[in-house]
């Protein structure tokens, strides 16, 4: 990709010790552009897939699918003010008597649509400020009366169990957007009566972006052409059914008009829109054979 056409998605493998905003700042500096955003916050201690949008791709971030896959380690018998090992850890109740079968049984209750209270140290806003800002100012969770929010846990697999006074387990979790994995560790520990926290987290997938196809920050920064790692915008939406428009229809659609597509109407409502030559034009919504723009890939000014 030429340096003159800085746009697309970067599938970054975020290292520990960096915030998601740090990742954005580094990409801005390396590519010398301000038009950069990320597709889903990762805590500083967490590693793994962090989708970064560059140029016109930033306008498509909100349409990326929210499903994510994580590999997490939970530790039972301890609690933390941040619900992970990065906070102030308090010993809960040593629980050497806990067995894998009992824990697996408890985990089943976290699969499906559940209600989850976000961690006090999180970016959720309350009273016009982010919760972690209020927490750092000394506000207690009891003062905020945090409301539980609906989240979706699609799959939760216990991969490994290591018994002891403070047993640890490795899990693979598939969930929807807005889910806090460390809150699952906290709530599991409370359900078992011994406390729990998350000691490690790695994101394996975010929407169409998988860890196997990601690039490490060091490798990317040290490459001769960092733009070569940018995916075309369209590759973020290959799971959307395509629809190909004639030149006249494409022209009107790109101007923000709805167009009648008649016999072109596919089964899906949300569509990846292409021109007659297959060029990606944006995303549209089709209802009753009329295709309306959701996001048009307008030329850079």
Shared domain for 145 and 182, answered yes or no, is yes
Domain span at 97: 68-206
Asked if 222 and 268 sit in the same domain, the reply is no
Residue 284 maps to which CATH number?
2.30.130.10
Q: What is the pLDDT of residues 10-43, one digit of tens each?
A: 999 999 999 999 999 999 999 999 999 999 889 8
H helices within 72-169, ranges in order?
Answer: 100-107, 131-136, 141-144
Q: Are residues 251 and 287 in the same domain?
A: yes
Q: Which of 13, 22, 43, 170 is catalytic?
A: 43
Instruction: Answer yes or no: is 301 within a domain.
Output: no
Split into its structural domains, the chain has a count of 3
Beta strand 68-76 with 196-206 is: antiparallel
Residues 221, 174 share a domain: no
Q: Which of 100, 94, 82, 53 is nearest to 236 (CA)?
A: 53
Q: Are residues 82 and 120 in the same domain?
A: yes
Kindly report the pTM of this predicted structure: 0.89
Both tokens of residue 138? 């000394």
| 131-160 residue pLDDT tens | 555 545 555 555 556 788 999 999 999 999
Is 2 a domain residue?
no
Which residue matches tokens 């007659």? 276
Q: Over the stretch 200-252, which tens digit does the pLDDT of each residue have? A: 999 999 999 999 999 999 999 999 999 999 999 999 999 999 999 999 999 99
Reported as a pLDDT band with limits 50, 70 and 90, residue 275 is very high
Whether 95 and 180 map to the same domain: the answer is: yes
Indicate which CATH number applies to the domain containing 176. 3.30.2350.10
**Residue 43 annotated to the active site:** yes
């Amino acid at each position: 990709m030429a340096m003159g056409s800085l746009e697309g998605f970067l599938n970054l493998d975020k290292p520990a010790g960096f915030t998601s905003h740090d990742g954005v700042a580094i990409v801005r500096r390396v590519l010398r552009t301000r038009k950069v955003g990320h597709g889903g916050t990762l805590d500083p201690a967490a590693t793994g897939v962090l989708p970064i949008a560059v140029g016109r791709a930033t306008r498509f971030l909100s349409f990326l699918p929210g499903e994510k896959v994580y590999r997490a380690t939970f530790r039972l018998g301890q609690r933390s003010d941040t619900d992970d090992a990065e906070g102030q850890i308090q010993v809960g109740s040593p629980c050497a008597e806990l067995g894998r079968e009992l824990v697996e049984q408890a985990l089943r209750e976290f699969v499906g649509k559940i209600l989850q209270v976000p961690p006090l140290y999180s970016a959720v806003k309350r009273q016009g400020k982010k919760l972690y800002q209020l927490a750092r100012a000394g506000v207690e969770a009891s003062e905020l009366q945090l409301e539980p929010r609906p989240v979706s846990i699609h799959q939760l697999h216990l991969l490994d169990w290591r018994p002891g006074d403070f047993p640890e387990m490795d899990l693979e979790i598939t969930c929807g957007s807005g889910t806090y994995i460390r809150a699952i560790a906290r709530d599991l520990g409370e359900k078992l009566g011994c406390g729990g926290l998350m000691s490690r987290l790695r994101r394996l997938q975010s929407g169409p972006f998988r860890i196997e196809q990601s690039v490490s920050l060091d490798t990317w920064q040290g490459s001769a052409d960092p733009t070569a790692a940018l995916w075309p915008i369209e590759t973020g939406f290959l799971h959307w059914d395509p629809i190909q428009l004639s030149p006249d229809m494409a022209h009107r659609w790109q101007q923000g008009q709805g167009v009648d597509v008649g016999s072109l109407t596919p089964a899906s409502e949300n569509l990846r829109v292409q021109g007659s030559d297959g060029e990606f034009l944006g995303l549209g919504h089709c209802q009753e054979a009329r295709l309306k723009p959701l996001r048009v890939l307008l030329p850079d000014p």
